[in-house]
Chains A and B, each alone.
Chain A
Amino acid sequence: MEHSPPPFFKTGPTPLARLLIFSALSLTLLVADARFNYLTPLRQIAAAIIYPLQRIATAPASIARRMGDFFVTHSSLREESARLTQERLANAPLLQQLKALQSENRQLRELLAARERVNADARLAEVLYAARDPFSRKVVIDKGLQDDIKAGQAVVDTRGVVGQVTRVYPWLAEVTLITDKGQAVPVQNLRSGLRGVVFGVGQDGVLDLRFMPLNADVQNGDQLVTSGIDGTYPPGLPVAEVSDIERNAEFMFARITCKPLAGVTSYAHVLVLAWHREAPQPPAETAAQPKRRKGKKG
């Protein structure tokens, strides 16, 4: 089959030995990555190497999208413009009130000596592709370390919270969607003010509002917004709408299913919010503890 003579004497390690070596290497990487998160620099390097390929692979789709934007019909543009004007008119009084309310809010907060709400800094990013991994729900966006994106920042679209940046590469970032299994968002019921935590269950379009008592004041159609107590999501962003409530006396908690408001699978552009909330000062006791222990030992 080949022209070169088979190397009779020099073949290197046997395939089985090589299999063992490379499997051991892979397992080491897996454990180091999954358990200890040691591999960030290594990942950064590998990501930088395959970045051009990722851009080439996603270029046709994003070019097609831009071409689609270019070839819109006159009538659809006019319709959209009319709709936007109407929306603006409808929103104008609300916006004017907002200014007054903001200043009033600031004064009230000053009176109460409460901390001010910080406006988040937003950055526009394009969704390049949905990650192929069937075990998790992630999308990849075209902004990364170079654009000051940091892990933990919230990602929203025009309708609500999409997810959270979980891994940052030099020019790209991975966003875990709120529908990913176990992804938690602290929320507040807009109608009753009740606080809770919404969890993703690993299915598109379904969220779980967990640990709500059976008699909790939750109704179908209630809007849930972020409460901001986690310091990750700025307060007041729409997250989900309650779609189904099951109160069964056999269980401790009610089963409350919600529908995410953001187009969690269908978007081209998203906003990454850089919102930093200063953590409250830790109690002084924690600093004193180690000293005491030392004293006991010595």
Chain B
Amino acid sequence: MALRPPQPHEILLPVKPGFIAATLVFALLANLLPWSGVALWIMPDFLAVTLLYWCIYQPRKFGFAAAWLLGLAMDIGDASLFGQHALAYTLLAYAGISLHRRVQMFGIKHQVLHVVPLLLLTQLAMLLVRMAAGADFPGLTYFVSSFTGAALWPLLVIVLELPQRPRLDPEHPAI
């Protein structure tokens, strides 16, 4: 199986719900790792990027309820306001699901250009919530994680599609 970007109209196997759940739990774990110092503001929001991927590629199998619940889990782990991530991830899921036909038509490079503003929108929602609750603006470095998250997108698109690629059967070669 070659590591190549997915072709636009390739026929894929149906994705297993267990696989979606596993990737999301893994992303949540990555977010909960004890990051500190510079890594803390460079690190992407793994969960947001993974969630966006499933919203764009499997909008029928992944939806708002899951995004919202994952947001709540993130709020506990992050010690932030309860509902802050939930709101941001709901917005992200809406944007992903309503844009999924459009984004899928583009190549990976252009998909990244769609992902950056969507992640920025998510962060902006959290920023507004926190500033309404009385926090200070944490500086422009706060937005860096959107860009590192978007940089993760090509890797995610290739890796998360591997299990759905049809296996080439040596006894019945493809025509």
Which residue in B33, B91, B129 is a CB contact (below 8 Å) of A19?
A: B91
- The count of chain A contact residues (Cβ–Cβ below 8 Å) is 51
If over half of A's interface residues share one DSSP class (helix, strand or loop), that class is named, otherwise mixed; here it is helix
Q: Digit string of B73-87 for contact with A (CB within 8 Å is 1, else 0)? A: 101111111111011
**Within 8 Å CB of B65, what residues of A?**
22
Question: A133 near B: Cβ within 8 Å?
Answer: yes
- Tell me which residues from 91 to 149 in chain B have a Cβ below 8 Å from any Cβ of chain A: 91, 93-94, 97-98, 129-130, 133, 135-136, 138, 142
- Interface of chain B, main secondary structure: helix
B63 touches A18 (CB 8 A): yes
A131 and B94 within 8 A (CB): no
Q: Are A135 and B80 in contact (CB-based, < 8 A)?
A: yes
Contact pick for B133, options A34, A61, A128, A132, CB 8 Å: A34
B29-69 vs A, CB cutoff 8 Å, 1 = contact: the mask equals 11111111000110000000000000000001001110110
Contact A29:B86 (CB < 8 A) given known A53-B28, A130-B36, A134-B138 = yes
B contact residues, total (Cβ < 8 Å):
50
Indicate which residue in B86, B97, B98, B136 contacts A181 across the interface (CB closer than 8 Å). Answer: B136
- A26-B79 in contact given A53-B29, A56-B29 (Cβ < 8 Å): no
22 CB < 8 A contacts A-B = A1-B12, A2-B14, A3-B13, A15-B97, A19-B93, A22-B64, A22-B65, A22-B68, A23-B90, A26-B87, A29-B82, A30-B133, A39-B82, A50-B77, A53-B28, A56-B29, A57-B34, A58-B32, A129-B34, A132-B78, A133-B79, A134-B142
Distance, CA A1 to CA B11, complexed state (A): 6
Residues of chain A from 106 to 145 with CB closer than 8 A to chain B in the complex: 128-136, 138, 140
A30 and B87 form a contact (CB under 8 A): yes
B155 contacts the other chain (CB 8 A): no
A181 touches B135 (CB 8 A): yes
